[in-house]
Structure 1
Amino acid sequence: MAKDTYLKKVLGTPRYDKLRSTKVLMVGAGGIGCELLKDLILSGFGEIHIVDLDTITLSNLNRQFLFRQKDIDKSKSLTISKAVESFNYFDTKLVPHHGNIMNTKQFPIEWWGQFSYIFNALDNLEARRYVNKMSLFLKKPLMESGTTGYDGQIQPIFPYVSECFECQAKATPKTFPVCTIRSTPSQPVHCITWAKEFLFHQLFDEIESNEAVNENNLQNETDNKQEIENIMKETNEINELRTSIKNDSSSIFIKRLILKIFKIDIERTLRLESLWKSRAKPTPLNYEENYETDLLGLIADEKTNDEKILDQDTKIWSVLENLYVLYRSSVNLQKRLLKGEEKSITFDKDDEDTLNFVVSSSNLRCFIFNIEIKSKFDIKQVAGNIIPAIATTNAIISGLSNLSSLKYYDGAESKKTLDHFSTTFISIRPNKYVTSASLLGPNPQCASCGLSTRGILEINQDQLSKMTLNDLIESIKSKYNYNGDLSIILGSSRLIYDYDFEDNLETKLCDIKGFVNQELLLIQDDEDELENLELFINYNSSTQLELPQLTLRQKKVPVTEKPQPVEPVAADNQPIYIEDEDSLIRDAEEIELDEQPSLKKRKTQKPIEV
């Protein structure tokens, strides 16, 4: 019996044949990616490209089952491709890419065009938005997925037919006022944020001029002039300590650090009596009298105490033990900077030196402000923005992603409407273990797909030196029936033309700063009659100037709820021109979903039958 006999019976021969000849992209090779790649291979997909920037760490192994301890520090994408060889029964072609999916040089628009389907298995918001944007430019179907603890969801996305990733607002990371963090912390998270974002960053990380504490910003948070003066003074003194790292011995630098941060600064804050009228006063750390001698004793036997203290991640360290951890991490960080191999050091939850510094300094601050001290394990969750990831949840969501995508290949794509597909949620809430909801059409107010249409502007470099901006504007007006004036923005915010700014009209495109390959061009109708048009500049040696075949929607025309057919991908896997990740941000490798599943109410329907 042929090895694909049962798979053909399950999928049907026509769909099986389609899968065998298709080429798909999977972005992310972490918790969801490991499970999803297994499912895609066992479903018979012909060719799978895997993109991930990260390398494997020890903390990945509890749920990323394709990795082993021997794989630590190796590329995720390369390792995952080799790990599945033992069960690649249908000889799926695997193409790993170690790189940032947002790197337009490594992954240009033409590269994206080869895929019939995109699967997201990402752990950060920025990369998700980028992939969503590429999906909109090329009209490629996208399967969005994510988990957080026992909760998870999948969202099939069909550009301009269903909601895109940006159609619903995403939760933003919680922030705290500077004055709360710097002067009046009341929760462990305040102290952890202070240790990570202020103390560690100011001492060891790269500091840019625009990152300095701004007195004007502080005035928006407090009208206490003394408090503002204190914060500004503390910042200047930290800069002096930063200089001390390279000029003083370890013992002198660390003693200065402890006395300044945990005694002098606290005593200065206590003088602001207005802050303590309704709050418990902090207690300065009496280091020289109560702890210095005992700390020197611990330091004398570093080997023994490293095992007793540093390796105990779940233990609540005493004040003395936290001082020891602060000393050991500071010594190591100072040595690394003095070697000259690193000009600055950025916090990384998997870097023991940086993590230990943040843990110990935040705990000492908690002690001073009468706040509960936390274990290293607990603080790592907060400092690393880690949302608990559960292997079973990842497996279920990956399975649903795979099953839902199979409906796209069942041979009747052009007749399908949104009702054929569902967003699916899982949880452990009673009667809510698995629920699904019909896909909705694009949000008319979505900046990505509701207020704009995207396409690719093809142009060769020779044409760039011949065509002026005015020539391009006239071509755009003629192509898309603009009746009035336009505004054109290049890149993220550079205005190159509007009614009152015509300086660049006769400038050759090649001479306009920023008009380069893989850049964005936003065209806005000043008459506010047509939706925005966003063009992706793509240098094409065989094309003089080719604007995408698009029909811009009238802003005043009401949006209908009538289901729209899902357009199939061209048979040759080339982009449909009716209308496409360099460092995957390493916010937290454990995060499987930056935001909670949508709370928007939808009409539920029966589970998908595949």
Structure 2
Amino acid sequence: MAKDTYLKKVLGDECFDKIRTAKVVMIGAGGIGCELLKDLVLTGYGEIHVVDLDTITLSNLNRQFLFRQKDIDKSKSLTVSKAVQSFNYLGAKLVPHHGNVMDTKQFPIEWWNQFSFIFNALDNLEARSYVNRIALFTKKPLMESGTTGYAGQIQPIYPYYSECYDCHPKEIPKTFPVCTIRSTPSKPVHCITWAKEFLFHQLFDELETSTLNDADKIQSETDNQDEINNLNEEANELADIRNKILGTETSVFVHDMLNKIFKVDIERLLKIDKLWEHREKPTPLNVSQYEPEMNELLSDNANESIVNADTREWSILENIYVLYKSCEALQRRLKSGKESFVAFDKDDEDTLNFVTSSSNLRSAVFNIPVQSKFDLKQIAGNIIPAIATTNAIIAGFSSFAGAEYYKHHQNLESTDFSDIINKTSSVFVSIRPNKYVSGIKLSPPADNCAVDSLTSRGVFTASTSDLNTTTLEDFIDKLVAKYGHTKDDISIQIGSRLIYDIDFDQNLDVLLGKIPGIDNGKIIFIQDDDDALENLELYVNIIDSNDSKFELPDIKLRPKKNPVEENIEPESNGISIKETEDGVLLLDDDGSSDSDLEIIEEDADEPPLKKQKM
């Protein structure tokens, strides 16, 4: 029996033939990416490009099944493309790309135009929004996907026919007052933030101003001059300790640091009576008390197993031991000269051990529950545990919904997606009883979405010759002729830089090539100040040629819409769908969620968007 027999039965001959000749791109080769690439290869896609900028780490191996220990530190995209060859029965052409998908030199707009479908398996908001905009500029269908623990989702995006990734505003990530973090912590997350963003940063990271050492922010939060003076003194003393890292033995360095941070600083805080009028006072750490047992632990290498005891809470002595071992490793790295600084990374054991142990010691001082290394990693790395099964389920739905596109969209060259829009759904999975899988019909773009509802967009192509012969006034005249603007009623920006409006016309005689910001991948924003026509975004595509390539996209600008104040989300199977900062909140009919569990940001490859409650 031929290898494609069952695929033809499931997909149909016509759909299968389209898939066999399709060229698609998958962005992200992590947890979802490994599963999704397997599915795409076995579905029979003719050519699959894989993009990822990361290398493989030890922590990836528990769920990214195409990687092995021998692959650590290798490129994900290159490794994953080789790994699937063992079951590439239909001979898909795999093309790996190691790089940042937002790099316009490596991935110019023409590169995107070769694909008939984009599959996203990304892990961060910025890259997702970028690919979303690329899909809108190129009018390519995009499959969004993500998981958080047992929850996950796919969202097919058909540019200008369904909601895009940015149709719903994202919440601003929660932050904590500097003074709470540095003077009066009351929760484990306060101590973790202090250890990661302040202590580690001040000692080992690049010498730049930390957000937790911002004098203006501190002044805006407290008028207690004693507290302000204390915070300044703390930072200055930490700078002195940092200067000792390269020329001091680890035992001396750690003793001085422990004594200063957990004894001297705390004793100084206790003198600020106002801070403790309504709070439980901290207890300074008696460092000398633990030195004999500490020396005993350090004398036996077998005790290094403590560092790997990820799932239990360490005692104060064990935390001091782990802090010592992490400082020893970090000092060694800095003294080698190979690194001038060390940045925190949840997958860097040395940095994670330092943050875990120092955070726990601070928690003990402030009578706050300590955390296991495993639990702390979830908060410090803004992650939740990744579940391989959820990744596999979501990758399967993503692949299936992609195949539906080739089955129902009759003309793959057409950007009229009306024939597919009612034949595919967003899918949500969870472990909620009777709501394990929920399919929700695609909604049209949100009326108040600044990305695809109030703005048209396309690609502006020009040669280097055009830039050297076309003035800004020539460009504006072409815009007016093409789109029906009135010259006196438009303004033009590149990023935050205004380059033209009726009161700012000094650039009219300047050649386009001389105007700052006109470069490959930049966005020219044209706004009708009379509010008659919708906004226009032009993606700049410069071709190195002496011939004229000047071309504005064929777009008919629509009358400007009035943004709606409130957008009511669709419901399905008794579930209301509400977008949060980076994810989806599934609500019962009464508007309540299943629990108060807050999921922060997931590990690389997993979050649906970035922050959600389930």
TM norm structure 2: 0.89
| CA-CA distance at 1:394 after TM superposition | 1.1
Contact kept, 8 Å, 1:47 with 1:94, in 2: the verdict is: yes
Contact 2:33–2:605 (CA<8 Å) still a contact in 1?
no
Aligned twin of 1:575: none
Q: Which amino acid aligns with 1:547?
A: L
In structure 1, the partner of 2:447 is 444
1:164 aligns with 2:164: yes
Structure 2 counterpart of 1:384: 381
1:488 paired with 2:492, answer: yes
Tell me what 1:295 maps to.
294
Partner of 1:305: 303
1:550 and 2:555 equivalent? yes
Q: Tell me, yes or no, if the aligned pair for 1:422 and 1:439 is still in contact at 8 Å.
A: yes
SS in 1 for 2:540: strand
Contact 1:387 1:590 in 2 (8 A): no
Matched to 1:179, the amino acid is: C
Q: Hey, what does 1:330 align to over in structure 2?
A: 327
Q: Which moved more, 1:422-431 or 1:52-61?
A: 52-61
Could you say if the C-alpha distance between residues 155 and 594 of structure 1 is closer, same or farther in structure 2, counting changes exceeding 3 Å? closer
SS at match of 1:164: coil
- For 1:143 and 1:59, locate their aligned partners in 2 and report how far apart those are by CA, in whole Å: 26
CA displacement, residues 345-404 of structure 1 (integer Å, 9 cap, x when unaligned): 110111111111101100100000001111111111111112222111111111111111
Q: Call closer, same or farther: CA 1:504–1:237 in 2, change over 3 Å.
A: farther
Q: Which deviates the most, 475-484 or 98-107?
A: 475-484
CA distance in 2, matches of 1:514, 1:262: 50
Measured in 2, the distance between the counterparts of 1:334 and 1:6 equals 59
Aligned residue number for residue 604 of structure 2: 589
- Deviation, 1:544, is 3.1
- Return the letter of the residue paired with 1:506: D
Counterpart of 1:316 (choices 296, 313, 316) is: 313
- Which residue number in structure 2 is paired with residue 530 of structure 1? 533
Does the aligned pair in 1 maintain the 2:202–2:210 contact within 8 Å? Answer: no
| Distance verdict in 2 for CA 1:482–1:179, change over 3 Å | same
Question: Does structure 1 conserve the Cα–Cα contact (< 8 Å) formed by 2:121 and 2:144?
Answer: yes
What CA deviation, in whole Å up to 9, does each residue of 1:292-317 have, x standing for no partner?
Answer: 2332332333x22212x112222321
CA distance in 2, matches of 1:204, 1:558: 48
**3-state SS of 2:268 partner:** helix
Corresponding residue number in structure 2 for 1:604: none
Could you say if the C-alpha distance between residues 71 and 127 of structure 1 is closer, same or farther in structure 2, counting changes exceeding 3 Å?
same
Tell me which residue corresponds to 1:286: 286
Alpha-carbon contact 1:444-1:451 (below 8 Å) kept? yes
Once the 2 structures are TM-superposed, how far is the Cα of residue 495 of structure 1 from its aligned partner? Answer: 2.1
Q: Which moved more, 1:175-184 or 1:231-240?
A: 231-240
The 1-side partners of 2:563 and 2:239 are apart by 58
Amino acid at match of 2:337: G
Q: Does 1:184 align with 2:181?
A: no
State the AA in 2 paired with 1:61: L
Could you say which residue in structure 2 is the equivalent of 1:573?
A: none
Distance 1:424 1:588, change over 3 A: closer
Distance 2:104 2:352 in 1: 33
Per the TM alignment, residue 330 of structure 1 is displaced from its structure 2 partner at its CA by 1.2
CA distance in 2, matches of 1:65, 1:47: 22
Residues 142-201 of structure 1, C-alpha deviation per residue, up to 9 Å, x if partnerless?
000111111111110011111000001234432211111111111111101110011101
- Paired with 2:340 and 2:454, the residues of 1 have a C-alpha distance of 44
- Retained in 2: the 8 A contact 1:521–1:536? yes
1:254 deviates by 2.2
Q: Which runs of 5+ in 1 are unaligned?
A: 562-585, 600-610
RMSD: 2.1
Q: Distance in 2 between the 1:48 and 1:95 partners?
A: 6
What's the CA shift for 1:409?
Answer: 1.0
Q: Does 1:402 align with 2:367?
A: no
1:356 aligns with 2:371: no
Structure 1 CA distance, aligned partners of 2:132 and 2:86? 33
Query: Superposed, which structure 2 residues align to 1:500-515 within 5 Å?
Result: 500-515=503-518
CA apart distance, 1:237: 2.2
Q: Structure 2: how far apart are the matches of 1:382 and 1:556? A: 42
Contact 2:166 2:449 in 1 (8 A): yes
- Partner amino acid, structure 1, of 2:339: E
1:209 Cα offset (Å): 4.8
Counterpart CA distance in 2 for 1:88 and 1:322 is 48
Q: How does 1:410-421 map to 2 (within 5 A)?
A: 410=407, 412-413=409-410, 416=419, 418-421=421-424
Q: Secondary structure at the match of 1:220?
A: helix
Q: Distance in 2 between matches of 1:418 and 1:194?
A: 48
Amino acid at match of 2:342: I
Residue 248 of structure 1 is matched in structure 2 by 248
Contact 2:386 2:602 in 1 (8 A): no
Report which stretch shifted further, 157-166 or 474-483: 474-483
Deviation at 1:589, TM superposition (A): 2.5
Structure 2: distance between partners of 1:72 and 1:557: 52
- Structure 1 Cα separation of the partners of residues 441 and 529 of structure 2: 36
Name the residue aligned to 1:570: none
* Alpha-carbon distance between aligned partners in 1 of 2:424 and 2:612, rounded to the nearest angstrom: 18
Corresponding position: 1:79 with 2:79: yes
- What pairs with 1:63-212 in structure 2 (closer than 5 Å)? 63-209=63-209
Are 1:220 and 2:220 matched, yes or no? yes
Asked which structure has the greater RCO (Cα within 8 Å, sep 6+), the reply is: 1
CA contact (8 A) 1:529 1:556 kept: no
Hey, what does 2:575 align to over in structure 1?
none
Contact persistence 1:171–1:595 (CA under 8 A)? no
Output the CA distance in 2 between the equivalents of 1:93 and 1:322: 51
| Matched residues, number | 570
Establish whether residue 422 from structure 1 lines up as the match of residue 425 from structure 2.
yes
In structure 2, what residue type is equivalent to 1:386? I
Between the aligned partners of 2:336 and 2:528, the Cα distance in structure 1 is 56
Contact 1:389 1:592 in 2 (8 A): no
1:137–1:194 CA distance, 2 compared to 1 (3 A): same
1:454 aligns with 2:457: yes
Tell me the distance in 1 between the aligned counterparts of 2:375 and 2:612: 24
Answer with 67-76 or 292-301: which moved more.
292-301
Corresponding position: 1:471 with 2:469: no
Q: CA separation in 2, counterparts of 1:556 and 1:369? A: 54
Contact preservation (8 Å) 1:204, 1:345? yes
